[in-house]
Amino acid sequence: MNNEMISPEHALDIILSKVNLLPTESVSLVQSSGRVAAEDLSSDIDLAPFDHSSMDGYAVHSSDLAKASTDHPVTLEVIDEEAAGHVFSGQVPQGKCIRIMTGAPMPEGLDAVVKQEIVTVVSGDGAAGSTISVSEPVPAGKFIRPKGQEAHAGDVVVAQGEVINPAGVGFLASCGITNVLVHCRPRVAVIATGTELVPPSEKPAPGKIRNSNSYAIAACVAQAGGIPDILPICPDDKELLASKVVSACVDHDFVVTTGGAANGDFDFIKQVISEHGDLYMTLVNMKPGKSQSFGIVDGTPVIGLSGNPAASYVGFQMLIRPALLKMQGYTQLERPHVTARLATDQHRRDPRRTYLRATLEHTDAGLVVTPYKNQSSGLFGPLQRGNCLAILPEGDKSMAAGDEIDCILLDVPEGVVLS
């Protein structure tokens, strides 16, 4: 593997070509929310299972009210009441009606519901034994949800590859489905490298810093649907790193390291991947995050991200997150983009494609994006406060305030349609 610098698109293509759809597992209905169905899911009954009222009111023969008007109201006798869960089994003669509640089955022969708001009670309390008056016609089928309106028994209600949302959980429950076959969540090992690192619980001694990358990357993994596993910090030791990576590949679906991805004397991840597997890339034409090594070790994808916090975070969002989504069966792999106007001049300092940490907001003049003044790759703060990455294209040209720039939305899921 040479040290050719490749485009972010090429880098992503390489990674996506090397990751596979994970096996399936059966999960409970509630746990299926946000997961990808691994098979077609069918209803065992008609939905609705019977014709039922969508209103509180009176079930009637629509023909009885065909000539009803304000001047010539029609009176009907209420012969019974029907609540949800109750089934009226008799016949209803012409000129008679049933007091009915929302969700209750339509009595046989009645073909419309008059909502109670337009009914006048002539005698009684409106329940069985009362007489009501209606002053307008009601068409057949009015306020009735018909049997099989949403699905028939045997119909596929959620197709293989479809992402199940909370409404879908309710839909599946109504179809009698209590367990769902979905693609597994990827188990992702996260290894921070660097002799200078100490755990967050430890106050750093001189020359030491807290390990923040592992926690940010683990949170990113969880947000992408994966199962993160933060492994112990690895000092700058090639053999120890190799041992940790090879071991992690045994029981994880993806391995992410941070730190040691460049060409320094203590940067070892490239050598580890190439000596124990196949190395496919080492440099990506992006800022932050130029040094990113990716390969396959014992059949498991391994990527070495920069040790700089913002660089590792951006690298995850652009390259790892789409791969983890693909492994779970998602087909929408790219965050939504919008075009906004720059709030400030952006002077080019590097010919690489630059992902500016920024805040996007609506103004009277439209979408405006404000990149943070400090774009250091060592900072998490702008990513915490911001909501997008504004893309400064490759080349030597700077951009001025008011110029349009493409922005990747970090707070909007893949597949969301924006106007």
319 and 209 within one domain: yes
For 250, the 3-state DSSP assignment is: helix
Rounded Cα gap, residues 61 and 65, in angstroms: 7
pLDDT at residue 195 in the model: 94
């494609």: which residue's tokens? Answer: 353
- Token pair of 197 as six digits: 């690192």
269 and 199 within one domain: yes
384 and 307 within one domain: no
Do residues 94 and 44 touch, judged by C-beta distance below 8 A? no
Whole-model pTM?
Answer: 0.90
For 392, the 3-state DSSP assignment is: strand
- Judge residue 107's burial from the number of C-beta atoms within 10 Å of its C-beta, 0-12 exposed, 13-18 middle, 19 or more buried: buried
Strands 24-28, 179-183: pairing is: antiparallel
pLDDT at residue 261 in the model: 81
């946000």: which residue's tokens? Answer: 34
- Token pair of 104 as six digits: 């209750």
Final residue before a domain boundary, out of 145, 172, 203: 145
75 assigned to some structural domain? yes
354 and 320 within one domain: no
Q: Which domain holds residue 376?
A: 337-409
Do residues 61 and 92 touch, judged by C-beta distance below 8 A? yes
The 3-state DSSP composition of the chain as helix, strand, coil percent (nearest 5) reads: 20, 35, 45
pLDDT tens-digit readout, 335-345: 999 999 999 99
162 and 39 within one domain: yes
pLDDT at residue 91 in the model: 93
Please report, for the domain that includes residue 351, its CATH number: 2.40.340.10
- Token pair of 163 as six digits: 């992402």
236 assigned to some structural domain? yes
- Token pair of 129 as six digits: 């034994």
| CB-side neighbour CA atoms (13 Å) of 55 | 17
Phi, psi of 251 (to 5 degrees): -125, 25
Rounded Cα gap, residues 405 and 5, in angstroms: 24
Do residues 288 and 353 touch, judged by C-beta distance below 8 A? no
414 assigned to some structural domain? no
What stretches in the chain show pLDDT beneath 50? Answer: none
37 and 170 within one domain: yes
78 assigned to some structural domain? yes
Q: Which helix (H) or strand (E) holds 256?
A: strand 254-258
The structural domain count of the chain equals: 4
309 and 226 within one domain: yes
For residue 292, what are the contacts with CB-CB under 8 A and spacing of at least 6?
A: 11, 261, 281, 282, 283, 284, 303, 304, 305, 306, 315, 319
pLDDT at residue 125 in the model: 95
394 and 359 within one domain: yes
Rounded Cα gap, residues 389 and 317, in angstroms: 10
Please report, for the domain that includes residue 68, its CATH number: 2.170.190.11
227 and 314 within one domain: yes
pLDDT at residue 349 in the model: 82
272 and 283 within one domain: yes
Please report, for the domain that includes residue 283, its CATH number: 3.40.980.10
153 assigned to some structural domain? no
417 assigned to some structural domain? no
pLDDT at residue 419 in the model: 66
393 assigned to some structural domain? yes
Phi, psi of 205 (to 5 degrees): -80, 170
191 and 286 within one domain: yes
User: What is the signed CA dihedral for 182, 221, 163, 414, rounded to 10 degrees?
Assistant: -160
- Token pair of 173 as six digits: 């429950």
Rounded Cα gap, residues 192 and 256, in angstroms: 8
Rounded to a whole number of angstroms, the CA Rg of the chain reads: 31
Q: Which helix (H) or strand (E) holds 302?
A: strand 300-305
Q: Which helix (H) or strand (E) holds 277?
A: strand 277-284
pLDDT at residue 1 in the model: 54
Rounded Cα gap, residues 98 and 126, in angstroms: 10
282 and 203 within one domain: yes
Share of the chain above pLDDT 90, in %: 93
Please report, for the domain that includes residue 171, its CATH number: 3.90.105.10
188 assigned to some structural domain? yes
Rounded Cα gap, residues 280 and 319, in angstroms: 14
Rounded Cα gap, residues 143 and 114, in angstroms: 8
